[in-house]
């Protein structure tokens, strides 16, 4: 594989928090534009703070950084910058999370957030030919009534939102806490996904499957501790959206050389690779592919399987899925012929 193989490889990004793509330079620029004080004197100071010991230490700075997002223009600029980077990394389909409660709790109207994001999505479609979907994530450290209020507030835009997710602090906030709001979301025609098995135990993955009836598991690494659960996930072809550099940054995996992505594939799991919160974790999607592929000495076929799985796990209709898979097959055929 050539050095640029990972960025040329057509792929889908299914686990990306748009607020987590807020680069220090943009954070600093928006703090000045909106006259929002942040506890950093420079871009270098911000980068120096990106040393995390666990998920919560990351979330503390993640939510502080989001405070600079105030206007429709801010949300547009944030997402547009991500789409430009993603296109350069070979992303042809993106399903991005946004956390409305992070903003509505600061007094930012839902419409301000969504209008900015939708404008950037239209730009990604026109400039890059990218297909894009938006996923509303509930914050699990808040209660279910707050999630219901968020679902009601999003009603006018639900025809432009593909699904809902569940993120934020996993420990002590099991999926079962949100069973009713997930059922209500399903009734509205939304797809369902849930962060589970990142820091939380394998039992949280089971809850997401049994009580939330999710279509996709975000992270899911700790399923490997439960052979029966692994067999179930493999049998049902449940997609796991794995984030290697995030796993290392948040100390869920000690080193990238220890990452279990190849074990997941060997066990028949539909594992995929994504960047999670790339501004904070040191790399966008192509860098995640490159880092884990080189560390685990993945074959070209294994890397292509990760990309293929990303399309198979996406919330695409049959025609769009076929188009993306055909594009991937053409790329692989041309790359093989050239080597």
Q: Which residues contact 147 (CB under 8 A, 6 or more apart)?
A: 101, 138, 139, 178, 181
**Is 17 annotated among the ligand-binding residues?**
yes
Contact 245, 50 (CB under 8 A): no
Query: Which neighbouring-strand residues pair with 217?
Result: 194, 240
Catalytic residue among 13, 19, 23, 198: 198
Q: Would you call 144 a catalytic residue per the annotation?
A: no
Contacts 24+ apart (CB under 8 A), 34-38: 34/68, 34/70, 34/71, 34/74, 36/67, 36/68, 36/70, 38/64, 38/65, 38/67, 38/68
**Is 15 annotated among the ligand-binding residues?**
yes
At residue 167's C-alpha, the angle toward residues 284 and 250, to 5°, is 55
**Is 54 annotated among the ligand-binding residues?**
no
Instruction: Locate 138 and state its tokens.
Output: 């509930």
Contact 96, 134 (CB under 8 A): yes
**Is 128 annotated among the ligand-binding residues?**
no
Cα(292)–Cα(297) distance, integer angstroms: 8
**Helix axes of 227-235 and 202-210: crossing angle, nearest 10 degrees:** 40
Query: Which of 73, 59, 130, 131 lies closest to 101, judged by CA?
Result: 59
**Is 195 annotated among the ligand-binding residues?**
yes
DSSP label of 162: -
Query: Which residues belong to the annotated binding site for Zn(2+)?
Result: 15, 17, 195, 276
Query: Which residues belong to the annotated binding site?
Result: 15, 17, 195, 276-277
Query: Which residues belong to the annotated binding site for substrate?
Result: 277
Q: Which residues belong to the active site? A: 198
């Amino acid at each position: 594989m050539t050095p640029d193989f990972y960025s040329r490889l057509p792929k889908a990004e299914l686990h990306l928090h748009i607020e987590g793509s807020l680069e220090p330079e943009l954070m600093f620029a928006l703090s000045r534009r909106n006259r929002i004080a942040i506890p950093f004197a420079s871009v270098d100071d911000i980068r120096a703070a990106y040393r995390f010991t666990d998920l919560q230490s990351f979330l503390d700075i993640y939510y502080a950084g989001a405070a600079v997002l105030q206007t429709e223009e801010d949300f547009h600029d944030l997402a547009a910058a991500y789409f430009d980077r993603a296109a350069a990394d070979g992303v042809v389909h993106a399903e991005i999370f946004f956390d409305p409660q992070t903003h509505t709790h600061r007094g930012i109207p839902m419409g301000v957030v969504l209008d900015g994001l939708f404008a950037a999505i239209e730009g990604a479609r026109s400039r890059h030919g990218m297909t894009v979907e938006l996923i509303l994530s509930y914050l699990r450290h808040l209660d279910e009534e707050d999630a219901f209020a968020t679902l009601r507030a999003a009603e006018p835009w639900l025809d432009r939102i593909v699904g809902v997710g569940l993120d934020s602090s996993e420990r002590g906030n099991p999926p079962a806490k949100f069973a009713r709001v997930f059922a209500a979301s399903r009734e509205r025609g939304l797809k369902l996904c849930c962060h589970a098995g990142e820091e939380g135990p394998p039992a949280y993955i089971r809850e997401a499957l049994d009580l939330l009836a999710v279509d996709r598991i975000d992270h899911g690494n700790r399923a490997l501790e439960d052979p029966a659960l692994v067999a179930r996930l493999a049998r049902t072809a449940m997609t796991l959206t794995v984030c290697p550099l995030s796993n290392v940054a948040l100390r869920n995996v000690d080193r990238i050389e220890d990452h279990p992505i190849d074990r997941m594939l060997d066990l028949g799991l539909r594992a995929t690779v994504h960047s999670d919160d790339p501004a904070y974790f040191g790399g966008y999607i192509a860098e995640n592919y490159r880092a884990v592929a080189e560390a685990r000495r993945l074959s070209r076929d294994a890397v292509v399987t990760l990309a293929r799985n990303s399309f198979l796990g996406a919330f695409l209709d049959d025609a769009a899925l076929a188009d993306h898979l055909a594009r991937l097959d053409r790329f692989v055929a041309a790359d093989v012929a050239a080597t």
